[in-house]
Amino acid sequence: MTLTTALTRYLKRPELFRDLANDLGSSSADLRKRFPVLNPSTGELLAEVPDMSADDARLAIERAHAAQEAWAELTARARSDVLWNWHQLMIEHSDDLGAILTAEMGKPLAEAKSEISHAAAYVQWYAEEASRIYGETIPGPSIDRRMLVIKQPIGVVGAITPWSFPASMVTRKISPALAAGCTVVLKPAEQTPLIAAAMFNLAKLAGIPDGVLNLVYASEGDAIGRELCVNPKVRKISFTGSTEVGRLLMRQCSDLIKRISFELGGNAPFIVFDDAEIDAAVEGAIQLRERSKRSFAMLDRLAYPPIGFTFSRGSMLNLSRSSLSACGCLRSDGFDPDVTIGPLINGNALEKIELHIADVVQKGGKGSLRRTSAWNFRNILRTDCGYGRCEIDAWGARRDVWSACTSFPLRGLRRRDPRSQRHHYGLAAYFYASNLKRVWRVAEALEYGMVGINTGRMSSKAAPFGGIKQSGIGREGVVSM
């Protein structure tokens, strides 16, 4: 896989990334068909990536399995040192990694660099944790006995990551696996394979042995996902993506009783109470939306609070500034220093927005759509829409839309409503309030895995990350849960 000048012209050290290996050694994938990776802002070709098959995935699994024993037998300190080296290389080359991320995903360069820093922080965290994999000593049933509990690597880990945060999602999954002594087969999203390959290149330079990290690319991931699930040499699957795909992967893993960690979809409510600091709430809503130019499962939704309370008229008028502010942001190529909002990832994202708006309008709501396309059909820039009277039965309220929408209700609910239990998602929720009694009551009542109180930022390497209900199983970002 070779990068084109449409990308290398932005790199300070293009020689480090010009030829991104496919990590499959003697695989014939390079001789077969490829799929293009395009800049979603300009439509320029960034690279042609090997379009791999289940056979290639099987070969990658074999390589990971062969490397597993030697990697697990390294001392914890040795694995820690390698991860530290990788972290330092990511920081050293963060400008180039940010450029690659901006080119293939579209987010503004400053935001892309921030994600690289966040991704490197996961590597750093687990470099530290690698040397702190402790066991337990338990008193035995008699005076001359002791029971010992030790932790051992589970084996080959299959990781499947989305295009939404294509750098930090990778390191959040594979860093703990490497620290524990596991090897990894990663299938990145077809829209954003380049940043994963670039980070793997740096991992090799950091001293990670051949076969420990393996990449498989595919324009359609069904066959590779199935191979990771049904192959007995893969002992665990870590997946971030839609609930529908997660449900399929879970079924495929069930015959082998394979361990899984899934972060799945969710439409996160954003609730503002009458006693909230309105300016802070507006700023939080804007940050949530603008930090995810293509939308993500934790994006704020004002459409339907799971526990409803009356919104004041003043609150809703002030919250409308969020929509106005977003409409005033500049949308264009992420390499433009003045740009604050990048493009949608592709045409599918726009189609979901259109479905969302059409359904709300059909149910009596109001919707608007703004579309800008300066270069070609792929340059579908950030779309904003405002809704009124958006009910829980609306299509977007019951599904993980993965597109950039914000909803503004004209009225709230006055008491707990049984309709709130219809929502099968439970990833994240946000609310703004000042009354301490209300804060605790609402935080504990919300049926979500994570609740942000007076903040839109919850992701941290030191805290558990994940949802409940159909928004996932298991947690990431902690030693154990």
The catalytic site residues sit at 263
Residue 215 tokens, joined: 């990449």
Q: Which class for 233: exposed (0-12), middle (13-18), buried (19 or more C-beta within 10 A)?
A: middle
Single-letter amino acid code for the residue at 17: F
One-letter-per-residue 3-state SS of the chain: CEECHHHHCCCCCHHHCCECCCCCCCCCHHHCCEEEEECCCCCCEEEEEECCCHHHHHHHHHHHHHHHHHHHHCCHHHHHHHHHHHHHHHHHCHHHHHHHHHHHHCCCHHHHHHHHHHHHHHHHHHHHHHHHCCCEEEECCCCCCEEEECCCCCCEEEEECCCCCCCHHHHHHHHHHHHHCCCEEEECCCCCHHHHHHHHHHHHHHCCCCCCEEECCCCCCHHHHHHHHHCCCEEEEEEECCHHHHHHHHHHHHCCCCEEEEECCCCEEEEECCCCCHHHHHHHHHHHHHCCCCCCCCCEECCCCCCCCCCCHHHHHHHHHHHHHHHCCCECCCCCCCCCECECCCHHHHHHHHHHHHHHHHCCCECCCCCCCCCCCCCCECCCCCCECCCCCCHHHCCCCCCCCCCCCCCCCCCCCHHHHHCCCCCEEEEECCCHHHHHHHHHHCCCCEEEECCCCCCCCCCCECCCHHHEECCECCCCC
Residue 107 phi, psi (nearest 5) = -70, 150
Residue 51 tokens, joined: 């379009």
How wide is the angle at C-alpha 25 spanned by C-alphas 21 and 31, nearest 5°?
75
Residue 40 tokens, joined: 């979603």
Q: Name the β-bridge partners of 293.
A: none
Residue with tokens 């290149």: 201
